[in-house]
Amino acid sequence: MTQPATEPLVIGPMGVGQVVDASFTLMRRHYNYLVVVAAWGTVAATLISLIGQLAFGRGLALLASGQFRMTPAQMRGTNVEDMLSEFLPDPLYWPVVLLAGVVSVWAQGALLAACGLLINRTGSTLSSADAYRQALGRVIAFLLQSLLFIVLAMVVLGVWVASIVLVPLFTISLVLLLPALIYVTVRLSLVMPALFIEQLGPISSLRRSWQLTHGAWWHTFGVGVVMTLVVIVLGILAGAVGAIAGLATFIANDPAVIVSLTMLISMVVGILIAPLSPAVGAVLLYELRVRNEGFDIVQRAQ
């Protein structure tokens, strides 16, 4: 799906509230288009997850549907190994879950690419297929970057655990670790927009995010806090809608039906709110470029 160009979104140096407002404006102007882009990947990821759950999840379907019931007497009379073998998923379940996660990342990348073009090209759009094609190459870069983060996290965790031996050092590290983690997280919050909008590599996108947030840490942090609150509110509303899935337990006794209905409702809600985070990421990326590099979107629009 493509959409005709609309009035360009003017971006200059903004306050926190203006960044959030511009993000909602971007999403509202192109909502139908962005929802279609989101739907491609979200539907695919949901179907993959559902297949994994039903085909390889074993007892997970019962647990997810709330139909697993076992009295204390039954638990005492059941061998732990037998119980685990019945309810632990098949080894093939985990690759399927990983594939669903990769598809979800791909969908977010396509949305970021689409939002970036809406801003940088004065409202013009990619087709849904083109958005996914543009994001595909960056998915591999994201996976490599994720491996790097995992290695770094393991190193930090290892050093922190080793400090437990020395109680004073452990206390100091505990006090310092959380603020440091928050600081680094904010500085690297534009990694995905840099990956998928600016088409940078795994290391280059890290440097890019660090560069753009230099001198704008509190500004970036403020946008993150506001959007976290918005996501919490949307999550509560989505949870209320998702509670409808609980009615399935009154009309169906089949765990497969219950799990399918639950995932279907979650998928629909997810598609409807999916454009928000990419819109914020795209707007913040270009707003910080205006601040740091004089990248004047207004002049481009004119």
- Distances, alpha carbon 291 to alpha carbons 83, 216, 222, in Å: 59, 9, 16
Closest CA to 278 of 98, 10, 30: 30
pLDDT given for residue 1 in this prediction: 52
**Residue bearing tokens 């942090």:** 221
pLDDT given for residue 176 in this prediction: 73
98-131 burial: b if 16+ Cβ within 10 Å, else e: ebbebbbbbbbbbbbbbbbbbbbebbebbebebb
pLDDT given for residue 20 in this prediction: 92
Residue 275 near residue 35 (C-beta atoms within 8 A) = yes
* Residue 267, number of CB atoms within 10 A of its CB: 18
pLDDT given for residue 179 in this prediction: 85
Predicted TM-score (pTM) of the model is: 0.81
pLDDT given for residue 242 in this prediction: 62
pLDDT given for residue 299 in this prediction: 45
pLDDT given for residue 197 in this prediction: 94
Domain layout of the chain by residue ranges: 16-70+84-301
Q: Is 42 exposed, middle or buried (0-12, 13-18, 19+ CB in 10 A)?
A: buried
Q: What is the pLDDT along the chain (302 residues), one digit of tens a residue?
A: 555 455 667 788 889 999 999 999 999 999 999 999 999 999 999 999 888 877 776 655 545 544 445 545 444 555 555 555 556 677 788 888 899 999 999 999 999 999 998 888 765 667 888 899 989 989 999 999 888 888 888 887 777 676 666 656 666 666 777 888 899 999 999 999 999 999 999 999 999 999 999 999 999 999 999 998 988 888 787 777 666 655 655 565 666 677 777 788 888 888 999 999 999 999 999 999 988 877 665 445 44
**Residue bearing tokens 């297929």:** 129
- Beta strands of 14-173 (E only): which ranges? none
d(Cα 29, Cα 35) in Å, to the nearest integer? Answer: 12
